[in-house]
Amino acid sequence: MHGKLIASGCEKELSHEDLVRIISSLGKPSVIATDVSPAPDFVMRIASRFHIRLFVPDRSLLVEEKRKIGKKIQNPHIRDAYAAAVKAYRNYDSTLLRIDKSDTVLHKGLIKHLVLQGHSAAEAEFILTKKEEKKIETVEKKASPQKQKRDERVLSLLKETENLRKALEMERESRKNLEEKLKKSTSSRTTEVSRDKEVQRLQGQVARLQTYIARLKRKKRK
């Protein structure tokens, strides 16, 4: 979860059961990665055994690329596996770092695991919070319809807030890219007018999203 190598190894004619046992002895995996695309059937079956996400690169990694990533590793098979793991980590590192910097009181490792399986951070926290509540309860009671509706409403608001946050990030990135392109542009005044209009449009969208997110937060607090 922090980009550090925990263990590595190389075995000949290893069965699925043997590999599952070895991985399980090291901890609970969150992602299985491969260095080739499409993924081999063996790798897909391992990911399926753990019921977790499989990371497959857009294209098979080149030998030179794998040598550069694992330049301190001599065994080519271990180097290939290491390169696959590093590529997978780099694909998610910004998300993992954002969770590390969050002020949540919940177990960040568990949040990361759920996020890597496709949940948003907000959904992950909601799931873990519900699990903690069940642990605390000494007697199981059937949830009232009113409580169920409230939980569903909270989860819906969390999902909507997360989607809006992603949309806001995309708008900011789009605006940043546009401004960088326009800085390099040497076109006429017509281009400058178009740029100003586009920037104003993006600023308006960002302002509307921020207002909507603030309104959702107020509803959530209520």
The residue among 129 and 197 whose pLDDT is bigger is 129
Question: Cis peptide leading into 145, omega within 30 of 0?
Answer: no
Q: What is the pTM of this model?
A: 0.58
pLDDT of residue 189: 58
Residue 131, H or E segment = helix 121-136
Residue 139 has pLDDT above 50, yes or no: no
- How many whole angstroms from its chain centre is CA 22? 25
Between CA 172 and CA 90 the distance in angstroms is: 22
At residue 190 the predicted structure's pLDDT band, cuts being 50, 70 and 90, is low
Provide the pLDDT for residue 186.
57
Q: Categorize the per-residue pLDDT at 122 as very low, low, confident or very high, splitting at 50, 70 and 90.
A: confident
Q: Alpha-carbon distance 17 to 160, whole Å?
A: 41
Q: What is the mean pLDDT of residues 106-118?
A: 90
pLDDT tens, position by position, 47-99: 999 999 999 999 999 999 999 999 999 999 999 999 999 999 999 999 999 99
Token pair in block for residue 70: 């694992």
More confident residue, 218 or 99: 99
Q: What is the mean pLDDT of residues 136-154?
A: 62
The stretch 105-117 carries a mean pLDDT of 90
**Higher per-residue confidence, 100 vs 164:** 100
The per-residue pLDDT for range 165-183, each reduced to its tens digit, is 776 777 777 777 777 777 7
Characterise 13 by phi-psi region: left (phi > 0), alpha (psi -120 to 50), beta (else): left
**Does the pLDDT of residue 125 top 70, yes or no?**
yes
